[in-house]
Amino acid sequence: MRIKVGVVQMTSGADVEENLATTARLVSMAADDGATLVLLPECFAYLGPEDGKLEIAETLPAGGPILDRMRALATSRSVDLVLGGFWERSTSETKVKNACVHVDKRGEVRAIYRKIHLFDVDLPDGTRLMESDTVEPGTEPVVTDAPFGKLGLSVCYDLRFPELYRRLVDGGAIALAIPAAFTLTTGKDHWHVLLRARAIEAQSYVLAAAQSGHHYGKRWSYGHALIADPWGTVLAECGEGEGIAVAWLDPEVVARVRRSLPSLSHRVLG
């Protein structure tokens, strides 16, 4: 089923209410443009000092006020939402989970993926991020049933690990959700290259929502939310600042690319 999909770009901060209001406005823009599935970036509800996410984390799939708002938004706009990075409460008192949650247009939670690869880095610009200090990693790849077919879920730093996307394609995925808060330092050099590479090697659409701009302290994100097709062509892209990118997703395009260049069936090493 050929549908329009949208990806959101925003600059989340520590004010949850402001972030959710921006989310609702941008999702509505995408829906008005015809999108029936909209992907939100990582940390859409909160991107502030690390201890703040512990305070707002919610149990899944039951949720709390943040998930309730997103379920109501999906229903009111009749869109499937992929909540790109949702702070999920864990059994730990010091850690949360970074979850990618698929909510359908009826407001039902269809799938939950917990980010497997955690971003522990010391970057050349002095930025030091140790996600594992406050986040508990997931362990299982997740593919969900979207309106167009199978959608593989991932989050941000997962992008650097192609073996995950092989598993998602083996699970039937024809599109890959890659919501992110990619740092400015790494994004300017790696974001486009990695997204197009995942699209080409997985012969799948890539839906990459993004954070953009300054959040707090030294935390800056690159932006450039985009949608790429299975040939690696960028169909729609945001620049800097908040906005949306919308494009058509056609399963027949995936089938045609996989027929004409059957690299997935030529794999020898797994």
Q: What is the pLDDT of residues 90-127, one digit of tens each?
A: 998 899 999 999 999 999 999 999 999 998 888 777 67
Q: Which of these is catalytic: 95, 115, 237, 242? A: 115
CA-angle at 23, arms to 20 and 29, nearest 5°: 145
Q: Which of these is catalytic: 156, 237, 238, 242? A: 156
The pTM for the full model equals 0.96
The dihedral through the CA atoms of 69, 70, 71, 73 has a sign that is positive
Among 53, 83, 54, CA closest to 67:
83
Q: Is 42 a catalytic residue?
A: yes
- Site of tokens 């009749």: 78
Q: In whole angstroms, what is the distance from residue 80 CA to residue 73 CA?
A: 10
**Contact between 98 and 85 (Cβ < 8 Å):** yes
For 204, 228, 246, 262, the CA distances from 164, given in Å and listed in that order, are 13, 18, 25, 19
Number of domains present in the structure of the chain: 1
Q: Is 97 a catalytic residue?
A: no
The whole domain housing 227 covers: 3-266
| pLDDT for position 63 | 96
Mean pLDDT of all residues in 195-223: 96
| pLDDT for position 123 | 73
Q: What is the pLDDT of residues 134-159, one digit of tens each?
A: 999 999 999 999 999 999 999 999 99
What token pair was written down for 246?
């919308």
Q: Is 115 a catalytic residue?
A: yes
CATH number (domain holding residue 95)? 3.60.110.10
